[in-house]
Amino acid sequence: MENVIEVLNLTKKYKDLIAVDNLSFNVKKGEILGLLGPNGSGKTTTINCLLSLLNYDQGLIKIFGQEMKPTSYDIKAKIGVIFQEVAVFEELTVYENIDYFCGLYIKDKETRKKYVQDALDLVGIKEFSKFYPKQLSGGLLRRLNIACGIAHKPKLIFLDEPTVAVDPQSRSNILEGIKKLRDEGATIVYTTHYMEEVEILCDQIIILDNGKIIAEGTSDKLKELTDIEEKITVEIAKINPNLIKEIKQFTNVLEVKENTNMLTITYKKGKNNLEELIDYLKKNKINYNKIFSERPTLNDVFLELTGKELRD
């Protein structure tokens, strides 16, 4: 598959601060790339360099096989950008807003009319087309923001935190719309603080920290990087310090956390962890109600690699 984005040795400095440190990566046509990192990791700077909104100190950026420059208007016409902050005109209706932004790229009125309807359908706000932004809920307003950014049917889309502070229905609608865009051939760069969205959407993931790529690959590949084999959570009516102390002595246990009457036990690589725990509880006549095991999540990987929660 052809590369839509090619980045080679990208470096951006602010005086003594290296915000982006020698990044190299590719994004293939039709992929959704999850660009993750804690605050200050270099995500925004990287995206602004890709869009040629920032000058950079060294490196090469190619979009659609051509070097990206501030004057690359033919390339920029094929790109859609939806930033976290909503940017629409309060004095225009939903339809008029989408029509305006689409009209920046699509001059033919009939084509533009169809594209606007497609955008309304994609984000599920057709019934609100005559509303003004101030009449919309936060979720609907964010859907409008997305519609404005994708109405001209861009081949490359940058989505920055599109589901922040939206209701569950809007969030589901937005995620489904992103999948449709990918299925229709768009390539997407996606940033989010919600790891579950990354697992649902992203074909490839890059984790940045201090301006460097510290891990990249598929969700499954990244999970292989962690020392965690599984987490077992068990509900016990009475948890005493001696119980926790003894479980910590199990061969494969990395950590034991207590929360009210729940124990979460994190295991490193090993086998029969659940069986060992159940045998121990039965042998010591410790009653438990719920017990379940789960594989490591992307958030576990992120925390292990960066030492931070993604939402920090």
pLDDT of residue 51: 97
Spatial separation of the C-alpha atoms in residues 71 and 77, rounded to whole Å:
11
Of all residues in the chain, the percent with pLDDT exceeding 90 is 82
pLDDT, tens digit (0-9, with 9 covering 90-100), for 166-182: 889 999 999 999 999 99
> What are the φ/ψ torsions at residue 48 (nearest 5 degrees)?
-65, -35
pLDDT of residue 305: 83
Tracing tokens 């009449």 back to the chain, one arrives at 135
pTM of the model: 0.88
CA nearest to 228, candidates 140, 176, 303, 124: 303
- Indicate the helix (H) or strand (E) that contains 172: helix 168-183
- 195 pLDDT exceeds 60? yes
Mean confidence (pLDDT) of the chain: 93
Spatial separation of the C-alpha atoms in residues 177 and 126, rounded to whole Å:
14
- Domains of the chain in start order, with CATH, are 3-223 (3.40.50.300), 228-295 (3.30.70.980)
Q: Average pLDDT, stretch 91-101?
A: 98
pLDDT band at 309 (very low <50, low <70, confident <90, very high): low
Higher pLDDT, 75 or 225: 75
Please say whether the beta carbons of 6 and 61 come within 8 A: yes
pLDDT of residue 82: 95
pLDDT of residue 312: 44
pLDDT, tens digit (0-9, with 9 covering 90-100), for 131-168: 999 999 999 999 999 999 999 999 999 999 999 888 89
pLDDT band at 228 (very low <50, low <70, confident <90, very high): confident
- Indicate the helix (H) or strand (E) that contains 232: strand 228-236
Q: Average pLDDT, stretch 42-53?
A: 95
Cα–Cα separations (whole angstroms), residue 44 to 126, 209, 213: 32, 12, 14
Q: Average pLDDT, stretch 265-281?
A: 91
